[in-house]
């Protein structure tokens, strides 16, 4: 990996996304496989709710898909992190990927056979969520074993940017496929089939990775992946202020300032509905994608703790400002600014976790991160919807954004460990 640490060119290219991690063959294969698979996954993410509504004509059943996905993620995300610390991470990723592929093939089979069972759809979504919870911590925790520490921010940025790009492009293409025929028995198997075929890229990437066994322990004891291991991970997090605060500011941002549940109401009241709601739902992801494409400066940032705090504050302020906008273009623009700030905060938080924490803890921390990233926005939806019922959508939107920015500043000032964190202080020797 010696060839990937050369200085980057000056000028405008210094601001472009840093692609030096792609010079590392193992990371390049993993990134390519994950990008292709994530694009394909969007077809299933769109097709399953469409199929559920076609079967039941009831949005309640569509809502149950979220429950079926979140509950296994909450449970198995923590356990998957412990497994990633106790087993070869390549083997964990490969096994979980096979299970994820099997769930997609199950969706394809039930669509081809026209089974028409809402309960089976819920079961397959739960299985898919279990598989994702197993693979996600291992896939993230192996990153510092594939690229040098100084390229971890760039590699994380590449991952997040391609994820947001897939989140924008995938549903658009899936929508075109599903709209090609009013007969869902024709178009649904195509959508699931595309996902199943594209996911083979992830299987190929996992197979081509080098072995990534756990690093030896100081006492020579084998690591276990049980409840005690999960508790040990929480104990480590509780005694590591920098990482604990990084999770804290992210939860504040997602719970208090995520306006997603308010988009339909605001689009209807201010912009007459129609295509406005689609623009609002896509604006944050588009901003994140643009932020990633202009993220070359993130890897050069040394005061990562301060940068994380400023990014989360910028998210809250931009969200609040968007809630005050009564022109659609301005609201979309401000939501895109918030999305770019979210990209920066996500990359910095991920980089801090991967570099600061010892390798023996990375899987469990990524398991906690999986739960936080999945659960925070859903709690934010609950907060926004409940507050809107009492005070109106506009108040719920603006007040949440402002409260988020203020609380993050208060937390950072009251507990300055995060503000003092610099990239150079990362992982000062505890790497067993």
Range of the domain at 92: 20-214
Structure-token pair, residue 80:
């998957």
Model pLDDT, residue 9? 52
SS3 state at 116:
coil
pTM of this structure: 0.75
Chain mean position to CA 383:
20
Q: Residue 296's closest CA among 100, 87, 8? A: 8
Where among 214, 244, 275 does a domain terminate?
Answer: 214
Where among 214, 239, 266 does a domain terminate?
Answer: 214
Whether residue 275 sits in one domain with residue 208: no
Q: Residue 312's closest CA among 237, 255, 252? A: 252
Whether residue 164 sits in one domain with residue 44: yes
Q: Is the dihedral of CA 142, 145, 146, 147 positive or negative?
A: positive
Whether residue 292 sits in one domain with residue 390: yes
Instruction: Give, for all 432 residues of the chain, the pLDDT tens digit.
Output: 434 545 555 555 667 788 889 999 999 999 999 999 999 998 898 888 888 888 988 767 886 887 788 888 888 888 888 888 888 999 999 999 999 999 999 999 999 999 999 999 999 999 998 999 899 889 988 998 999 988 888 898 899 888 888 878 888 788 788 878 888 888 899 999 999 999 999 999 999 999 998 876 655 555 565 667 777 778 888 888 988 899 899 999 999 998 887 887 888 889 886 667 767 877 888 898 888 888 777 777 888 899 999 999 999 999 999 999 999 999 999 999 999 999 999 889 888 888 888 887 888 888 888 778 777 887 888 788 888 888 888 999 999 999 999 999 999 999 999 999 887 544 443 333
Model pLDDT, residue 427? 44
Alpha-carbon distance 145 to 217, whole Å?
17
Model pLDDT, residue 429? 37
Whether residue 270 sits in one domain with residue 180: no
């Amino acid at each position: 990996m010696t060839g990937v640490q050369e200085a980057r060119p000056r000028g405008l290219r210094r601001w472009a996304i840093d692609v030096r991690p792609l010079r590392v063959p193992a990371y390049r294969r993993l990134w390519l496989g994950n990008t292709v698979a994530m694009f394909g996954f969007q077809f299933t993410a769109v097709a399953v709710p469409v199929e559920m509504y076609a079967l039941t004509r009831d949005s309640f059943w569509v809502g149950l898909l979220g429950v079926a996905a979140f509950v296994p993620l909450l449970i198995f995300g923590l356990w998957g992190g412990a497994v990633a610390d106790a087993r070869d991470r390549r083997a964990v990723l490969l096994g979980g990927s096979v299970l994820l592929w099997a769930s997609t093939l199950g969706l394809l089979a039930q669509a081809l056979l026209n089974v028409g069972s809402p309960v089976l759809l819920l079961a397959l979504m739960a299985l898919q969520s279990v598989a994702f919870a197993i693979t996600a911590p291992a896939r993230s925790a192996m990153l510092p074993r594939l690229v040098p520490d100084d390229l971890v921010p760039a590699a994380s940025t590449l991952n997040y940017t391609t994820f947001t790009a897939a989140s924008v492009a995938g549903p658009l293409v899936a929508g075109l496929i599903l709209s090609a025929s009013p007969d869902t028995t024709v178009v649904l198997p195509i959508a699931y089939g595309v996902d199943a075929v594209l996911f083979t890229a992830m299987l190929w990437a996992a197979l081509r990775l080098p072995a990534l066994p756990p690093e030896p322990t100081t006492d020579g004891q084998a690591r276990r992946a049980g409840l005690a291991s999960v508790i040990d991970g929480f104990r480590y997090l509780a005694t590591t202020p920098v990482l604990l605060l990084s999770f804290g500011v992210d939860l504040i941002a997602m719970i208090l300032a995520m306006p997603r549940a308010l988009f339909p109401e605001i689009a209807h009241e201010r912009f007459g509905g129609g295509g406005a709601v689609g623009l609002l739902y896509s604006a944050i992801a588009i901003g994140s994608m643009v932020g990633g494409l202009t993220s070359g400066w993130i890897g050069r940032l040394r005061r990562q703790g301060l940068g994380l705090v400023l990014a989360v504050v910028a998210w809250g302020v931009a969200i609040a400002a968007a809630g005050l906008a009564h022109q659609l273009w301005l609201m979309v623009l401000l939501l895109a600014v918030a999305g770019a700030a979210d990209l920066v905060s996500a990359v910095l938080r991920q980089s801090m976790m991967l570099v600061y924490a010892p390798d023996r803890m990375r899987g469990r921390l990524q398991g906690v991160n999986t739960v936080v990233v999945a659960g925070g926005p859903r709690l934010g939806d609950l907060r926004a919807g409940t507050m809107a019922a009492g005070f109106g959508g506009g108040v719920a939107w603006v007040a949440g954004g402002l409260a988020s920015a203020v609380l993050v500043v208060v937390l950072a000032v009251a507990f300055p460990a995060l503000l003092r964190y610099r990239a150079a202080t990362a992982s000062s020797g505890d790497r067993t």
